[in-house]
Every structure is written in C-alpha cells, then in structure tokens.
Amino acid sequence: MQHVFHKGTDETKPIFLLLHGTGGNEQSLIGLAKKIDDTASILSVRGNVLENGMPRFFRRLAEGVFDLEDLIFRTKELNDFLLEAAQQYDFDRNRVVAIGYSNGANIAASLLFHFEDALAGAILHHPMVPRRDIELPSLSSIPVFIGAGTNDPMCSAQESEDLEAILTSAGADVTTVWFNYGHQLTMPEVEAAKEWYDRIYLTSFSKWFL
C-alpha cells in the first residue's frame, strides 16, 4: 500500500497509523498526528480504492452503504500490510494506534471488529458502524476515542452511539465526545483527542508498552 513512514523521536510512544477520509492521501493527517504527539512515529497509508478518482479504503454501494465484501477484503489487506510494515521499519506491531477520519475511521473500526490484536488503541473521527452481523473479538480495555458531530449529515448520532455500544460490549474503553458541527474535522475535536490521548497514554499505553 502506498504510504509514508516517519520515525519518531521517542520509541516508547505508539506508532500512529493514519487513515485519511475520502479524497485524502497519505499526507492528509500528518499535521493532525503531530498536534496529538509530535514525538510518536507515523505510518500514514493511502487507500487502495478509487471512487471518481478519490482514494478510499474500501468501496461503497451508495453514501452510507458499504460494500461488505470489499470491506472485509480491504480490512485484511490493511492488517497484512501492518505486519509487513512492522518488519520493514522495525517497529513493534503491538504499539499501533490508529487515527482515522471518516472513511479512514471506518476502516480502523473494521480492524477492531475483525482482528483481536490489530490495534492498541484508536482515535476515530466521525466513524460509522462498519458491520452489524458479526461477533467482535475481545477488545479488553483497548482505549477508543470517538469524535462525533451532533449535526453530521453523513454519520448520524445513532451511528456513533451504536458504535460506542458495540465496542464497549466487546470490552473496549470508549470515550465519545460530541461537537455541534457537521462532518468536518475541527480544531476543538483535535484538541479533545489530544487531551484524551495524553490522559490515556499515562494510564494505559505506557503500561502496555513497558
């Protein structure tokens, strides 16, 4: 998968897996990641699917309607790529924390839905429930931040609430923060994600990474 890797200055920190929204690329979220932790390593990936020339991580049949067969295939593709990248760049596969927006948040959530050890944590900006027809693996105490919009026309409040409930039922430690905006990613949401990350790193990530 097309990507960039930036080695961080603190090897005790997570490796941020950056997953852009529709029409983005591997450069789109690097500034956001640096605002959250500018000492962490970054693996930023471009989706392998094109929709009207715009990169995505999996196909959809219509807005809000996922191509589940392609979602499953692309989720495995991304998980396999993470194993390869960990070997190529010599980082600990168990330290990967996803930061995803919109379509990227959906594929990050799909990693959690399909693979028990895919992620050490996730920051999901405006995600949807990737699928509703499977039992999730154990996500015991995996920290997840969900940034949700009360007026999001693409991702309803119910979607965010359902995703929180599903992840929580699988054992994840989910924090959902609401913003009175639409689908856009705003600075207050980024700042809330950083506050969550700073708290979670001290209480959870640092213990796992010893």
User: Which residues, 6 or more positions from 174, have their beta carbon under 8 angstroms from its beta carbon?
Assistant: 144, 145, 146, 164, 167, 168
Residue 114 a catalytic site member: no
Give, in order, the Cα–Cα distances in Å from 160 to each of 65, 105, 127, 163.
16, 12, 7, 5
Tokens of 182: 């639409």
Determine which one of 28, 102, 110, 160 is catalytic. 102
What is the residue whose two structure tokens read 């009360």? 150
Residue 183 a catalytic site member: yes
Determine which one of 114, 125, 126, 152 is catalytic. 152
**Calpha distance 210→207 (Å, rounded):** 6
Residue 138 a catalytic site member: no
Determine which one of 70, 156, 183, 204 is catalytic. 183
**Calpha distance 3→47 (Å, rounded):** 9
Residues with catalytic function = 102, 152, 183
